[in-house]
Each structure stands twice: as structure tokens, then as C-alpha cells.
């Protein structure tokens, strides 16, 4: 049996979610042949799935550009979508030759859904928002309404959407052909040496290191702070009074070893924080609809504190000097576990098994 995954190029959340799902698919269908279409991350998939993966390098069309502040660059992104209609038509024509698959997965490419629909093959969408929702929520309307209408039309051809928690209600209503599923998550156990005994602060950025320069500023101001150790990605370089997390690890694997977290609220990050709860300040983005929504929901649930990037820099030391009470953490984790489950991949694969 053969499966093809259309993977968006935006962020690590899509790649992580797809990897977790594919891992479960391989457990149930050990002989499944997988092809992933995306612009990168082949090494990530082969390492985590522990098998050879067919990989087709392709941007899959949807792309947003970011400026030095880590915010969406409206000018560059607007240019990208200027000739989108023609790009979309050509992309669909090119991919219609891919008939040799039993089913498709999309996280989430509207055109990928349309290709599978035209080929008469099952296509499963896994996401917590759709690109039409994202485009309509942007403060500046840089994506033409005709493109958004086309995305909606294509996405309504999906065999089934699987929506995890925190999916906006407007998305659930617009796409009734869906099943609500738990979070997709793995409880990875890693061996880590030389973890400092001081209070450990974890900086969780996006895969593109959008907040890197702000994190560096705070680290440099705390070079001589003997009370804390800041844990950060190797991408930030070698800095004083820090614990460097090497590239072979995921930053989220270190949540269980830390005392406090400052994070950009990508979906993979918030899933990991909820699964292994630690006190957290979310650093929201004023222009990114996904980040704004994720931060809003978590704040409403009283699970995290929310800050903008300037307040994070200004109030960092005040926040970390607050006492962390172990019993409060246990109470919060109990509240989270009562509300959420983290085995969505098993649920989805069981449904796919009955639909193909």
C-alpha cells in the first residue's frame, strides 16, 4: 500500500504532526510505502521514522515571509500570492500524474486535496486551522478573496478532516465533514547529561528562530545571574550561563527538565507544554492569526500567561523571580489531563483504516 503526504512548508508543527501520524500508520501498516512532498525536513522524517522515505522537493505553494521582528512581512507575502491562480493551476496539472497511491494525507495543502479528489482517491486533512481562516484573519487583506474562495472549494472535497483541540469554531462550522480528535503527541524519553541544578528557563522559538535576537538580548543581560540557567537552541550560538540544546534534539523534549518556559505559541509547542505542563509565558505575535488564536485560547483557559515581545524583555527577571510551587503545577496538570487526551494519532489511524 502507498501513501503520499502533501506537507506545507510553513513551520515545524505540520512536520511534527505528520511524523507522529506516519509513525502510527507504520505501526498498523508495517509495509506502507510513504512519499512526502515538501520543501525540506527529509532528514527529520527518516531519523524519526527509522526508514527510507521517498521525498519530492516542492514548496506546495502556500508561503508566508517574516521580517526581522518575527512578524509576517506583508509586502513580500503579498508578492508571493500575486500570480497564485496560475501557480495553483500549474501545480494541480503537474501533480495529477501521481496516480500510484492508495490514499493521501494533507497538512494542509488545498491543492493537494483537489488533486486527490480529481484522482478519485481518499484524502485526509489533518490541521487545527485552514488557510482560508488564516487569510481572512490577517489584519491586511494580502490574499485576494478569489484565492480564498478557491481554497474553500478545494478543501470541501476532503474525504475527512481530523481537527485536534483548539481548532477555531468557525473552521469546525465551515467544514462539517470532520472528526474531532485528541492532540497528536509522543512521550519521547531522552537521556540528557549535565543538566544544571539551578532554576532552568527554557526558550522555545519557532523552527525559523523568529525570536532569536530577542532571546539573545535577554541571555546577554543575564550572563552573570547565578540563580538561573537558560536553555536554548544551538542555533543561537555559544552564550554564557546557558545550556545549549543540540540540533539532534527537539526543544520540546526538554520541557520536563525545565522550571519555567518562554515560548512562541506554535501548535507543536503548546501541545508539548500541555502534555508536560510547566509554568509558561507565551510570547504572542501581533500579526500572525494562528499565534494570536493559540495565545487567546490558552490565556482564556488560565493555563499560561501571555506577553508581547517587548514586555517579555522588560519583565523577564520579575517573572522568573516568582516562586514556583510544585503543588500548583500538579494541580494544573491534573486540570489539563481531565480536559485533553494526547493519543490523536491512534484515533486517526483507526478511522483511516475504516475509510480506505
C-alpha grid cell for residue 128? 487545527
User: Is the pLDDT reported for residue 117 higher than 70?
Assistant: yes
Most confident option among 36-40, 64-68, 113-117, 205-209: 113-117
pLDDT at 212: 87
- Range 2-183+343-355 classified under CATH 3.40.50.2000: yes
> What mean pLDDT is predicted for residues 329-348?
93
> What mean pLDDT is predicted for residues 96-107?
91
Q: What percent of the chain has pLDDT over 90?
A: 61
User: Is the pLDDT reported for residue 194 higher than 90?
Assistant: no
Going through the chain in order, the beta strands assigned E by DSSP cover 2-7, 33-38, 54-57, 103-107, 123-126, 160-163, 178-180, 199-204, 228-233, 242-245, 260-263, 280-283, 305-307
Note the pLDDT tens digit of each residue in 227-256: 999 999 998 899 998 999 988 888 898 998
Q: Mean pLDDT, the chain, as a whole number?
A: 90
How far out from the chain centre does Cα 30 lie? 26
pLDDT at 53: 86
Higher-pLDDT residue of 267, 13 = 267
Residue 224: count of CB within 10 angstroms of its CB: 7
C-alpha radius of gyration, the chain, whole number: 21
Residue 83: count of CB within 10 angstroms of its CB: 9
Query: CA 147 → CA 84, 142, 294, distances in Å?
Result: 8, 11, 25
Which neighbouring-strand residues pair with 280?
A: 261
CA distance 64 to 80: 8
CA distance 294 to 283: 11
User: Is the pLDDT reported for residue 191 higher than 80?
Assistant: no
Helices (H), ranges, 96-225: 110-119, 131-137, 145-155, 169-174, 212-221
What is the DSSP track for 152-175?
A: HHHHTT-SEEEE-TT--HHHHHH-
pLDDT at 181: 97
DSSP code at position 29: -
Is residue 54 within 8 A of residue 103, CB to CB? The reply is no
> What mean pLDDT is predicted for residues 311-322?
90
Higher-pLDDT residue of 245, 162 = 162
pLDDT at 52: 82
Strand order in the sheet with 228-233: 242-245, 228-233, 199-204, 260-263, 280-283, 305-307
Q: What percent of the chain has pLDDT over 70?
A: 99
Q: How confident is the model at residue 104 (pLDDT cuts 50, 70, 90)?
A: very high
Phi/psi at 166 (5° precision) = 80, 5
User: Is the pLDDT reported for residue 210 higher than 90?
Assistant: no
User: Is the pLDDT reported for residue 11 higher than 70?
Assistant: no
pLDDT at 340: 95
Of residues 348, 356, 250, the one with CA closest to residue 22: 348
Q: How confident is the model at residue 186 (pLDDT cuts 50, 70, 90)?
A: confident
Of residues 213, 194, 192, the one with CA closest to residue 203: 213
34-48, 73-87, 303-317: least confident range:
34-48
**CATH 3.40.50.2000 domain locations along the chain:** 2-183+343-355, 199-339
Q: How confident is the model at residue 42 (pLDDT cuts 50, 70, 90)?
A: confident
pTM surpassing 0.85? yes
Q: Indicate left, alpha or beta for 229 from its phi (over 0: left) and psi (-120 to 50: alpha).
A: beta
pLDDT at 207: 66
CA distance 334 to 297: 18
pLDDT at 190: 75
CATH number assigned to the domain covering 199-339: 3.40.50.2000
pLDDT at 135: 94
Q: How confident is the model at residue 153 (pLDDT cuts 50, 70, 90)?
A: very high
Of residues 140, 108, 161, 75, the one with CA closest to residue 267: 108
Higher-pLDDT residue of 133, 39 = 133
Amino acid at each position: 500500500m502507498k501513501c503520499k503526504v502533501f506537507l506545507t512548508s510553513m513551520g515545524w508543527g505540520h512536520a511534527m504532526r505528520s511524523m507522529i501520524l506516519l509513525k502510527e500508520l507504520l505501526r498498523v501498516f508495517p509495509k506502507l510505502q510513504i512519499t512526502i512532498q515538501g520543501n525540506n525536513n527529509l532528514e527529520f522524517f527518516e531519523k524519526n521514522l527509522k526508514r527510507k522515505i521517498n521525498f519530492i522537493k516542492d514548496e506546495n505553494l502556500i508561503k508566508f515571509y517574516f521580517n526581522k521582528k518575527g512578524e509576517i512581512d506583508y509586502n513580500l507575502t503579498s508578492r508571493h500570492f500575486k500570480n497564485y491562480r496560475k501557480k495553483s493551476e500549474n501545480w494541480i496539472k503537474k501533480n495529477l500524474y501521481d496516480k500510484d497511491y492508495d490514499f493521501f494525507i494533507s497538512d494542509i495543502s488545498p491543492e493537494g486535496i483537489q488533486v486527490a479528489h480529481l484522482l478519485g482517491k481518499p484524502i485526509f486533512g489533518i490541521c487545527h486551522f485552514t488557510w482560508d481562516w488564516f487569510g481572512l484573519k490577517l489584519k491586511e487583506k494580502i490574499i485576494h478573496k478569489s484565492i480564498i474562495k478557491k481554497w474553500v472549494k478545494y478543501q470541501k472535497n476532503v474525504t475527512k478532516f481530523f481537527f485536534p483541540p483548539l481548532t477555531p469554531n468557525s473552521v469546525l462550522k465551515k467544514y462539517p465533514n470532520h472528526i474531532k480528535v485528541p492532540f497528536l503527541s509522543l512521550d519521547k524519553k531522552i537521556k540528557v547529561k549535565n543538566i544544571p541544578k539551578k532554576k532552568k528557563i527554557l526558550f522555545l522559538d519557532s523552527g525559523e528562530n523568529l525570536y532569536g535576537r530577542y532571546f539573545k538580548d535577554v541571555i546577554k543581560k543575564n550572563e552573570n545571574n547565578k540563580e538561573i540557567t537558560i536553555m536554548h537552541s544551538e542555533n543561537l550560538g555559544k552564550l554564557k550561563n546557558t545550556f545549549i540544546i543540540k540540533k539532534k534534539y527537539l526543544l520540546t523534549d526538554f520541557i520536563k527538565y525545565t522550571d519555567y518556559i518562554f515560548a512562541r505559541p506554535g501548535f507543536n509547542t503548546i501541545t508539548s507544554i500541555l502534555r508536560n505542563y510547566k509554568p509558561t509565558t507565551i510570547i504572542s505575535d501581533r500579526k500572525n492569526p494562528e499565534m494570536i488564536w493559540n495565545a487567546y485560547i490558552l490565556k482564556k483557559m488560565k493555563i499560561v500567561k501571555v506577553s508581547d515581545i517587548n514586555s517579555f524583555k522588560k519583565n523577564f527577571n520579575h517573572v522568573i523571580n516568582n516562586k514556583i510551587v510544585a503543588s500548583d503545577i500538579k494541580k494544573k496538570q491534573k486540570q489539563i489531563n481531565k480536559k485533553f487526551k494526547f493519543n490523536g494519532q491512534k484515533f486517526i489511524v483507526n478511522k483511516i483504516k475504516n475509510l480506505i
